[in-house]
């Protein structure tokens, strides 16, 4: 169990700072302030990031953090945090951990009790996902679940066999019932509740569903719930009726059959060939 109050302690902090994907004017004032305030900035390419930082008159120490050196780099950043230094992790462009390095150091920093604070402002679910300490890719963004207990359980059963991390939105007055249904349908998986993203009371509650349920009556404000995917071989138990319904739903929304199958394949991890076979068998 790990309960992080981002701005109500003096622990060393690992900041996850999104950088512009092209237009430098998209760099937020908060991101600039954070990058100027930290002791060290970890980046993919010190030359590329160095040019961007120079543009904003930021001259902090730079270190490399890349996929091929992620293990030693993560240990190096944890060592810096243990010395009381604050570190910012950036990508060459975009959001750390979203198709970029950072998963290992975030998971380990959170596990060691250091603050992990996203700096973006662009999306609550992305902020919650990259700082959750759970596996970031692949992920499935679901949004709000149905309010009815029965309908919520039915919807969760559609996703319980999928291996990808799941991301939900929920209201504070419904979070207990939501967590109870998740525990009943999904089992006691690892999860993270992120609330009040980027605000003064920002908080991450990391643990199992049972552990987080014990704390949930104190949750207020906007909430994002991130839950581990199924780590077993889900393909042997997959509900093909659910897959057909997903394809049909996409067709009803205006996609062609081919595009609907492609979209559902991307969301579920089932191969397009298998879905084509399933759909065509059903039609015949």
Containing domain of residue 266, as a range?
238-283
Please tell me whether residues 228 and 244 are part of one structural domain: no
On whether both 116 and 9 belong to a single domain, the answer is: yes
Measure the CA–CA gap between 249 and 263, rounded to whole angstroms.
Answer: 11
Do 111 and 144 belong together in one domain? no
Residue 68: pLDDT over 70: yes
CA dihedral 214, 218, 222, 224 (to 10 degrees): -10
DSSP β-ladder status, 87-90 and 13-17: parallel
> What is the SS3 assignment for 137?
coil
Output the pTM of the full model: 0.71
**Residue 133: inside a domain:** no
| pLDDT of the residue at 185 | 93
Q: Is the pLDDT of residue 143 over 60?
A: yes
- Average pLDDT, rounded, for the chain: 90
- Determine the average pLDDT of the residues in 31-47: 96
pLDDT at 262: 86
- Any idea what the CATH number is for the domain that residue 67 is in? 3.40.1010.10
Count the Cβ atoms, other than its own, within 10 Å of residue 192: 25
Count how many Cα atoms sit within 13 Å of the Cα of residue 272 in the half-sphere of its side chain. Answer: 8
pLDDT, tens digit, 9 for 90 and up, residues 253-272: 899 988 888 888 877 767 77
d(CA 157, CA 186): 8
Q: Are residues 83 and 167 in the same domain?
A: no
pLDDT of residue 284 exceeding 70: no
Co-location of 38 and 72 in the same domain: yes
- pLDDT bracket for residue 282 (50, 70, 90): low
What was the pLDDT predicted at 171? Answer: 93
Q: Are the CB atoms for 187 and 251 separated by under 8 Å?
A: no
Final residue of a structural domain among 64, 90, 122: 122
- Within-domain flag for 92: yes
* Helices and strands, counts by H and E, the chain: 11, 11
As given in the structure block, the two tokens for residue 267 are 């969301």
Give the pair of three-digit tokens for residue 40.
Answer: 């060290």
- Asked if 117 and 149 sit in the same domain, the reply is no
Measured between its terminal Cα atoms, the distance across the chain in Å is 52
Q: What is the pLDDT of residues 206-239, one digit of tens each?
A: 999 999 999 999 899 889 999 999 877 555 556 7
Percent over 70 (pLDDT), the chain: 95
Token representation of residue 162: 């999928």
Among 59, 92, 122, where does a domain finish? 122
Strands 139-144 and 223-227, bridge-based pairing: unpaired
What are 69-95's pLDDT values in tens digits?
889 999 999 999 999 999 999 998 888
131 falls within a domain: no
Interval 99-108 mean pLDDT: 92
């Amino acid at each position: 169990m790990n309960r992080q109050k981002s701005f109500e302690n003096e622990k060393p902090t690992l900041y996850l700072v999104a950088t512009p994907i092209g237009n430098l004017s998209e760099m937020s004032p908060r991101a600039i302030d954070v990058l100027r305030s930290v002791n060290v900035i970890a980046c993919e390419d010190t030359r590329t990031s160095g040019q961007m930082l120079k543009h904003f008159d930021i001259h902090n120490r730079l270190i490399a953090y890349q996929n091929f050196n992620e293990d030693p780099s993560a240990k190096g950043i944890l060592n810096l945090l243990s010395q009381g230094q604050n570190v910012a992790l950036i990508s060459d462009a975009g959001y750390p951990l979203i198709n970029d390095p950072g998963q290992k150091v975030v998971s380990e920093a959170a596990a060691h009790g250091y603050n992990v604070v996203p700096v973006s402002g662009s999306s609550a679910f992305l902020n919650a996902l990259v700082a959750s300490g759970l596996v970031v890719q692949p992920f499935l963004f679901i949004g709000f679940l149905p309010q009815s207990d029965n309908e919520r359980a039915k919807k969760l059963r559609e996703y319980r066999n999928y291996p990808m991390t799941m991301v939900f939105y929920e209201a504070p007055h419904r979070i207990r019932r939501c967590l109870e249904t998740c525990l009943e349908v999904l089992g006691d998986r690892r999860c993270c509740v992120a609330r009040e993203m980027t605000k003064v009371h920002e908080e991450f509650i990391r643990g199992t569903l049972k552990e987080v349920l014990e704390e949930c009556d104190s949750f207020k404000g906007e909430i994002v719930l991130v839950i581990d995917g199924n780590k077993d071989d889900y393909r042997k138990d997959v509900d093909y009726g659910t897959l057909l319904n997903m394809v049909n739903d996409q067709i009803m929304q205006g996609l062609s059959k081919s595009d609907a199958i492609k979209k559902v394949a991307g969301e579920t991890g089932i191969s397009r060939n298998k879905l084509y076979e399933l759909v065509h068998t059903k039609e015949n």
